[in-house]
Amino acid sequence: MSFIIAIDGPAASGKGTIARALARHFGFHHLDTGLLYRATGVKGGDPVAAARNLTAEDLTRPQLRSAEAGQAASRVAAIPQVREALVDFQRRFAAREPGAVLDGRDIGTVICPDAQVKLYVVASDRVRADRRAAELGADPAAMLDQLRERDRRDSERASAPLRPADDAVVIDTSDLQIDEAVAAAIAAVDRVRPAR
């Protein structure tokens, strides 16, 4: 049976960096599920049709990391039919051997509620805005407004809102260096997964 690590949290909290590091450390597959929603939003047209017809090539478009793609992702993610169209893809990915790390906003609560490890990665609004602004070369104040709007939309949507799973381990990266955050995540996995 595949070992599943579900990582959720708001934008720019560090969940993607932690997810990639965990996948490397444990030799697992990694899926940034936000790319599915970004690719759906960037495709344009009918978002439900776009979600149903995503291809591997759609996930490699360079503009998927832009702030605009992030906003588009948040808008299409609020559409229940889009979420439904992408659930099967994510669950099939999670079943890959020897294990998988999926990061997003509803992995531990909806996509993989039976994941062996669930992490919820957070950071203060100001830290997240500064990180994302540095990544994109954007204005931190404008980024703070965008992140708060996206958090509100993601947390208040009727279908699969952003929230920690009841049994998630919360990691606050506000005052942590990357290696410290990754070490905390590895320790959380090691408490559940027997040494091999």
Q: What is the pLDDT of residues 33-73, one digit of tens each?
A: 989 999 999 998 999 999 999 887 888 888 898 888 988 98
Look at residue 194 and tell me if it is in a domain.
no
The string of DSSP letters for 76-128 reads HHT-HHHHHHHHHHHHHHHT-SSEEEEEESSIIIII-TT-SEEEEEE--HHHH
Look at residue 196 and tell me if it is in a domain.
no
Look at residue 144 and tell me if it is in a domain.
yes
Residue 1: pLDDT above 80?
no
| Residue range(s) defining the domain that contains residue 38 | 3-189
Q: Hey, what amino acid is at 70? A: G
Annotation: binding site: 9-17
Q: Hey, what amino acid is at 66? A: S
Annotation: binding site for ATP: 9-17
Average pLDDT over the chain, rounded to an integer: 93
Look at residue 195 and tell me if it is in a domain.
no
Overall domain count for the chain: 1
Here the CATH number for the domain that contains residue 113 is: 3.40.50.300
Look at residue 185 and tell me if it is in a domain.
yes
